[in-house]
Every structure is written in structure tokens, then in C-alpha cells.
Amino acid sequence: MGLTRNRIYHILELTDPEDRTARLIGFSIVGLIIINVLAIVLESIPSILEEYGNAFFRLEIISCIIFIVEYVLRVWASVEDPNTLIDESGSHVRDSRRRLNFMFKPMAIIDFLAFVPIFLQLLFPGVDLRFLRALRLLRIFKLTRYFQSFELILEVLHDEWRNLAGTIFIMLVILVIAACGLYYIERDIQPEKFGSIPEAMWWAMAALTTVGYGDAYPITPLGKIIGSLVTLLGIGMVALPSGILASSFSERMRQKRESMQTQIDQALEDGLISDDEERSLRRLGLELGLNEEAIKSLVENSQSIFNKREDPGR
């Protein structure tokens, strides 16, 4: 039973990128998620929903059954994760507690929400639950488990959330000040567009984000001056979070390459990278989100440096 559970864990978590069974199941789940998202989009067209409504409902039932089985297997096999065996105090964690901790992880919650809507639809068939369509779109976040780029972006957002929150707070302050200023300046001249501070906020948001819809804009000289300043500030405010994310993304990639480089150096301690070590390095590189060319380049460069160090005359 333990071997079966261990095998299920490695298949669902895709711990070995070269495992054909794990890749097949992973691609199948990704395909099912994409089909579900397309179905949700097509359901919004009344003519298509009227003609294929039953087919969409059957697809929903089948998808939810698969998602339920996947969720149950993930919870059951989660105790095979070696990183959860010991807690921070060094004590052994019981299997029931490890499963409970797994169920409250963000990805496990997304897996759970993937099939909850069907139960609500079956329990309340006569109630208009259109919001469930939006809830079903959360299934797309399940793709983060299968694409390293999504996971990397989430890591960057987690690392930089304080800086991003500070940027958003500054933008909100500027938004309120700009809206209040335009309200007092333009309210008598354009009461239909700047008749209240919340209405003025619509213009301020469009100006700060440099969108500029054109449906509301100041016409007084002082209002135009303030509008110009807000637009210039908006260019800088939009660039701030972009710079923060880009810098953090680059730092993350550098850390991954350094981690890969350390493993390569350890493998080269005996002067040769065996086939087993090469496969292990390839798996590690793929897990870190590096492509085949980047992995090959790192290995070749390390081998070249090692050979020159061992034989300076070469």
C-alpha cells in the first residue's frame, strides 16, 4: 500500500519530469482544464448554451468527478512528501495532521474549489447561481502546478508583496488627492462628470493608469494643470511595480542558476559527470524552470572550466 501511495504521490506531483506516466496524466489534466475554460467562455453565448447546454452539463459532471478523484488522491498521498515529516521543532508529524496541513495549502484550496460549484448547483437547482461560472474559472489556477513560469511569478509576488503594497498605497493617496482637487475645481462647471469625489475618482484612475478614456477630462486652466501633473505621476507609478517585478524575477532566475551551478560543481568533484548524474541534473534543472539549452550550457561551461583548471596548458 505504501509503495502504491508513494507512486501516486510522485505521479501527481510530477517529481520526475522524465516519468512518462506522470507526464501523460499531467498533460491530460492540463487539457481538461483548458477544455473547461473554453466551455465556460462558450456558455456565455446564449445560442450555443441553448443548443449544447446538456453537453456542457455532462462535461461539467465528468470534469468534477475527475477533479474529485485527483483531490482525494492528492490528500491521501500527501504524507509521502518528505518535507512535511518533521515540523520546525524537530518532532514527528502525524499523517492526519500532515494531510490537514496539505488541505489548507493554496493549491489544495484551488483544487477543492474546482469541483465545489457542481455540488451547489445540484443542491440548489432552482436558484440562479450565475456567480458559480466565475468560481469555476478558478480552475485555470490549477495550471500553476504544471507550468514553472506561473509558479515563479507567484514566488515573485510573494517576495515583493510589501513593496507592491507600498506602491499601491502611494497610488491610492495620489488618487484621492487628485479626485478631491478636480472635484472642487470642476464640480460647478461639469457636475455630471465631477459632481462628487467618487465620480472624480473615475477620471483620476484613468489618468494615473495612463489609460485616458476621454469620457471625463478637466476643462478649466487649473484643472488642466492638475490633470497634466497626475498624468505625469501616473507614468512613474505604472513603471514602479513593473520595475519591482522585473528586478525580483531576474533575481529569482539568478538564484535558480546558482543552485543549479552548485549541483553541477558537486557532480564534477570526481572530474566526470556520469549518466546518472546527468539525468539527475537535467531533472533538477527542469524543476527549477530552466530549459534544456540553459541546462546544457551550464554543464558544458562548468566542464570546460574544470578541464582548464585541471590542465592549465590545454
Q: Where are the domains of the chain?
A: 2-146, 147-314
Cα angle value 12/17/22 (rounded, 5°):
35
pLDDT tens column, 219-243: 888 888 888 888 888 887 778 888 8
Sign, CA dihedral 193-194-200-205, equals positive
Q: In this structure, which long-range contacts are made by residues 206-211, counting pairs with CB atoms below 8 Å and at least 24 apart in sequence? A: 207/178, 207/231, 207/234, 208/171, 208/174, 208/175, 208/178, 208/233, 208/234, 208/237, 208/238, 209/234, 209/238, 210/234, 210/235, 210/238
Which residues does 81 contact at the CB level (< 8 Å), separation at least 6? 9, 13, 98, 102
Task: Give the chain's radius of gyration (CA, Å).
Answer: 27
Give the whole-number percent of the chain exceeding pLDDT 70. 86
20: cell is 512518462
The CATH H-level (homologous superfamily) assignment of domain 2-146 is: Voltage-gated potassium channels. Chain C (1.20.120.350)
- For residues 8 and 138, which has the higher predicted lDDT (pLDDT)? 8
If you classify domain 147-314 with CATH, what class do you get?
mainly alpha
Cβ–Cβ under 8 Å, residues 208 and 186: no
- Residue at grid coordinates 515583493: 160
pTM, full prediction: 0.66
pLDDT tens column, 35-88: 988 988 898 888 998 898 899 889 988 998 999 999 999 999 998 888 787 777
